[in-house]
């Protein structure tokens, strides 16, 4: 058995055990393999082991992998999870299935306008800066309803939920508190009469990474973003 298969199996078991511990089904939690900095062949290998959802943080690198693996396109789901510059929004709109990192209305509008008409609406999450860190992308909780209202009116975007990257900590209670805050924000949106719920699903909480999967799942995560624990330690050039 390869190291990659061992890693995938280990992560799936962690998800399974974390779900059991809080009375959830692992089937309700999607594993997003974050393949940034790793070559397309690693994605191909993971796909051969049954992994279908992959996340990329850098536009140029991500698009190159999408194109290199175009023979697998119908069975891969590509998620963009990094910050988006205005001059790169067209590449994201044309090549990805999901975007997790919408943090301002300008980017949402560009993605909507640049999404090719022959493709289904882009599935999107709004990134929330739960920890209030100046260095982190994401909108403040007080801005959330306004941006969600505007996105929900865009025909080529399909609003699905929220994403966060909390401040790193080894303290499980602190991890859970950050994830709880995002869950409560999603719950507020789900109950809001200011949103047209016939046009949106609001069923996605993109939260939890290699170090805090258990805390995220305990607080309702529906999608965990795991890179290092699957592909190994990254080497940045």
Work out how many domains the chain is built from and give that number.
1
Give the model's pLDDT for residue 235.
73
To the nearest whole percent, how much of the chain has pLDDT over 90? Answer: 89
Q: Judge whether 237 lies within some domain.
A: no
Token representation of residue 215: 């805390």
Q: Judge whether 127 lies within some domain.
A: yes
Q: Judge whether 236 lies within some domain.
A: no
Beta strand 122-127 with 98-102 is parallel
The residue to which tokens 């047209």 are assigned:
196
Q: Judge whether 174 lies within some domain.
A: yes
Q: List CB contacts of 97: < 8 A, sequence separation 6 or more.
A: 77, 78, 79, 122, 123
Characterise 71 by phi-psi region: left (phi > 0), alpha (psi -120 to 50), beta (else): alpha
For residue 72, the enclosing domain spans 3-231
Give the mean pLDDT of the chain.
95
Q: List CB contacts of 169: < 8 A, sequence separation 6 or more.
A: 175
Q: Judge whether 40 lies within some domain.
A: yes
Q: Judge whether 176 lies within some domain.
A: yes
Q: How confident is the model at residue 168 (pLDDT cuts 50, 70, 90)?
A: confident
DSSP class of residue 29 equals: S
- Give the residue from 52, 119, 53, 131 showing the smallest Cα distance to 92: 119
pLDDT in tens, 35-60: 999 999 999 999 999 999 999 999 99
Token representation of residue 134: 């100046």
Beta strand 223-226 with 30-34 is parallel
pLDDT in tens, 4-15: 999 999 999 999
Give the model's pLDDT for residue 237.
57
Rounded distance, CA 106 to CA 111, Å?
9
Q: How confident is the model at residue 234 (pLDDT cuts 50, 70, 90)?
A: confident
Q: 153 pLDDT exceeds 90?
A: yes
Give the model's pLDDT for residue 33.
98
Q: Judge whether 25 lies within some domain.
A: yes
Q: Which of 13-17, 121-125, 166-170 has the lowest mean pLDDT?
A: 166-170
Q: 102 pLDDT exceeds 60?
A: yes
Token representation of residue 109: 């509008």
The model's pTM is: 0.96
| Rounded alpha-carbon distances, angstroms, from residue 77 to 27, 55, 72, 122, 208 | 17, 9, 10, 12, 19
Burial class (CB in 10 A: 0-12, 13-18, 19+), 75: exposed
CATH of the domain at 173: 3.20.20.10
Q: Judge whether 100 lies within some domain.
A: yes
């Amino acid at each position: 058995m390869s190291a990659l298969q061992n890693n995938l199996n280990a992560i799936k078991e962690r998800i399974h055990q974390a779900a059991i511990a809080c009375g959830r089904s692992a089937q309700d939690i999607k594993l997003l393999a974050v393949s940034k900095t790793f070559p397309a062949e690693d994605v191909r290998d993971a796909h051969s082991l049954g992994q279908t959802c992959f996340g990329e943080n850098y536009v140029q690198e991500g698009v190159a992998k999408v194109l290199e693996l175009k023979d697998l396109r119908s069975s891969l789901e590509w998620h963009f999870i990094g910050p988006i510059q205005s001059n790169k929004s067209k590449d994201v709109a044309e090549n990805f299935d999901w975007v997790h990192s919408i943090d301002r209305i300008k980017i949402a509008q560009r993605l909507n306008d640049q999404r090719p008409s022959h493709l289904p609406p882009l599935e999107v999450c709004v990134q929330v800066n739960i920890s209030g860190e100046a260095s982190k992308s994401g909108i403040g909780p007080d801005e959330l309803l306004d941006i969600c209202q505007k996105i929900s009116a865009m025909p080529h975007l399909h609003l699905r939920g929220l994403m966060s990257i909390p401040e790193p900590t080894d303290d499980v209670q602190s991890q859970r508190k950050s994830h709880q805050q995002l869950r409560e924000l999603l719950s507020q949106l789900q109950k809001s009469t200011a949103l047209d719920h016939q046009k949106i699903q609001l069923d996605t909480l993109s939260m939890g990474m290699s170090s805090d999967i258990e805390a995220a799942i305990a607080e309702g995560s529906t999608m965990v973003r795991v890179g290092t624990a699957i592909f190994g330690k990254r080497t940045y050039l």
